[in-house]
Amino acid sequence: MRWYLRLWIVLFAVLPARAQESIGADTILVNGKIVTVDPQFSIREALAVRDGKILAAGKTAAIRKLAVPGTRVIDLEGRTVIPGLIDSHLHAIRAALSFATEVNWIGVASLPEALGRISDASRRMKPGAWLIVAGGWNVQQFKENRRPTQAELVAAAPQNPVYVQLAYGWVMMTPAALRALRISTEADLPGGGRFEKDANGNPSGAIVGNQGAITALFDKLPKPTLEEQVDGTRKFFRELNRLALTGVVDPQGNNMTPNDYAALFQVWQQHQLTVRVAYSLSPGENFEEFRSLIRLLPMGFGDDMLRFNGLGESITAGMYNNDKPSEAEKQRYYEIVKWAAEHGLTITQHWGRDESAAELLSVFERVNREIPIAPLRWSIAHLNDASPATLRRMKALGVGWTVQDAMYFGGEQFRQQAGEAAARRAPPVETAKEIGVAVGAGTDAHRVASYNPFTALQWFLDGKTVSGIALRGPEETPDRKDALRFYTLGSAWFSYDEKKRGSLEAGKSADLAVLNQDYMTIPVEQVGKLQSLLTMVGGKVVYAAGPYQTLERAPGQ
């Protein structure tokens, strides 16, 4: 916090009441339950906002005294306010590009409902338009507990090419889609892809393969126009606002090129961004070209709404989903991350299994012997089975951990592979907390998970999969306070923002959400249904519904 802001807060605290009134607030929220997430996890009744920052929190009577002519007064009528949620690992930029043109199956409870969305889209979109479900769903969320058939997709949209992707291992396409992509034999598929066969040995219409094959297949699809991408970006971020999200840390990920950032930058330049985005970039195969780019894009470049946040989760192919990297692959990775350390860049690295985590940490430790990395806030994403030994090595390096609700969709498969004992402690967030590892919460949406933070929060609290099976034991289950901290202050740490946002304290940005129910007291099984009635970013209303819908202005106003 800058010295003059600290001084201002101190002076405000000792000013007589009349002088405080002369300062005044732009907005005050009264008669509510303000969950501050400060060190004491204080609960207040009211909150005052001035110039996009929190002026004070306290009793309603005291906060009302900060009102001056023109102050907007919002009566919470007992509702709960939380800090705006921050997803520490959300592929938001990619998801936004196609949000206006994709078909969304997130949260759908049955196949008829899912197929109905395909039919609705076929009527709503242009004749012959591609209908694409890019992910975010799982078989177990459907009461039928199965995937759609090709015939069902054709019946739902007979005049459209349809593409439905399940995570990174399975794609169903209609005959029209296969013809449009000129796929008739397995030779036409990307390397690693093959046709799925039914029980009789006949092609089912689906394509299966490894992540590389499915990623390459998706790249064959027609991309939305820039206009559609801009529209999708606005709409997706508003959807995140509806779910109380005010910030994301985006690790880049698959299917992203430099051109794919144009829509985000346009929305930002037009001052229509409603979610704070800290974004990363990945070097790819041409590190020399990337290194030249970063010279023009230093760490932290941008503003409070959009800022460059270092290297993303797929830094080299040899250290991505590879449990046994060769010495040459580790050396190449070392050269890149050492260069990143020399230039003060943050890193977030995708890593799946604790069994091979030493391969990554040994490289980090090698760099750390030459350049201390703790100030750079490097992090590991995923790693659901992190061992205490791994977490202690991470703590010694100052490496953080971004945790996603992967076990919500994949927990039962994980239990089959790793066993009951491993499933009971996945992910070990309470152990990480005790060791002192920085933990941020998130989803990894939207290819492999839902982007709904309340789905993730409910999973943090009950450890149940999408089909309702409880896997995680109480020893690694956080309470409501810790889960909310992970999704606010915890996530803010990964973009150097924990002193600016993540809690509702004087001097911090007024990023907050008024919930439709009380997160702190409703039954755990209802947490996933929470949403915001009023979301603010920097004191500006970016989403409003129900009793507050008249408070929202049109984008750009």
Per-residue pLDDT reduced to its tens digit, 218-250: 999 999 999 999 999 999 999 999 999 999 999
Over range 268-277, report the average pLDDT: 98
pLDDT at 254 exceeding the cut of 60: yes
What is the overall mean pLDDT for the chain?
93
pLDDT at 547 exceeding the cut of 80: yes
User: Looking at residue 131, what is its pLDDT?
Assistant: 96
Over range 165-172, report the average pLDDT: 95
Over range 141-168, report the average pLDDT: 96
Q: Cβ neighbours of residue 135 under 8 Å, at least 6 residues apart?
A: 165, 166, 167, 446, 447, 448
Helix pair 388-397, 357-368: axis angle to 10 deg: 20
Q: How far is CA 525 from the centre of its chain?
A: 22
Q: How confident is the model at residue 15 (pLDDT cuts 50, 70, 90)?
A: very low
pLDDT at 11 exceeding the cut of 70: no
Over range 180-197, report the average pLDDT: 94
CB atoms within 10 A of CB 223: 15
Residue 188 CA to residue 178 CA, distance in Å, equals 10
At 194-227, the pLDDT tens digits run 999 988 888 898 999 999 999 999 999 999 999 9
pLDDT at 1 exceeding the cut of 80: no
Least confident of 137-146, 279-288, 418-427: 279-288
Strand order in the sheet with 379-382: 348-351, 379-382, 400-404, 439-442
Q: How confident is the model at residue 554 (pLDDT cuts 50, 70, 90)?
A: low
At 445-502, the pLDDT tens digits run 999 999 999 999 999 999 999 999 999 999 999 999 999 999 999 999 999 999 999 9
DSSP 3-state of 206: strand
Over range 107-130, report the average pLDDT: 94
Over range 141-169, report the average pLDDT: 96
- Break the chain into its structural domains and give their ranges: 102-219
Strand order in the sheet with 33-35: 43-44, 33-35, 80-83, 512-515, 532-537, 540-544
pLDDT at 9 exceeding the cut of 50: no
pLDDT at 10 exceeding the cut of 80: no
At 17-74, the pLDDT tens digits run 444 445 799 999 999 999 999 999 999 999 999 999 999 999 999 999 999 999 999 9
DSSP 3-state of 277: strand
User: Looking at residue 7, what is its pLDDT?
Assistant: 30
Over range 496-515, report the average pLDDT: 98
Global pTM exceeds 0.75: yes
CATH architecture type of domain 102-219: Roll (3.10)
DSSP characters for 207-273? EE--HHHHHHHHHTSPPPPHHHHHHHHHHHHHHHHHTTEEEEEE---TT--GGGGHHHHHHHHTT--
Residue 299 CA to residue 279 CA, distance in Å, equals 10
Residues paired with residue 30 on neighbouring β-strands, in sequence order: 75
User: Looking at residue 284, what is its pLDDT?
Assistant: 77
Q: Is there a contact between 204 and 198 (Cβ–Cβ < 8 Å)?
A: yes
pLDDT at 8 exceeding the cut of 60: no
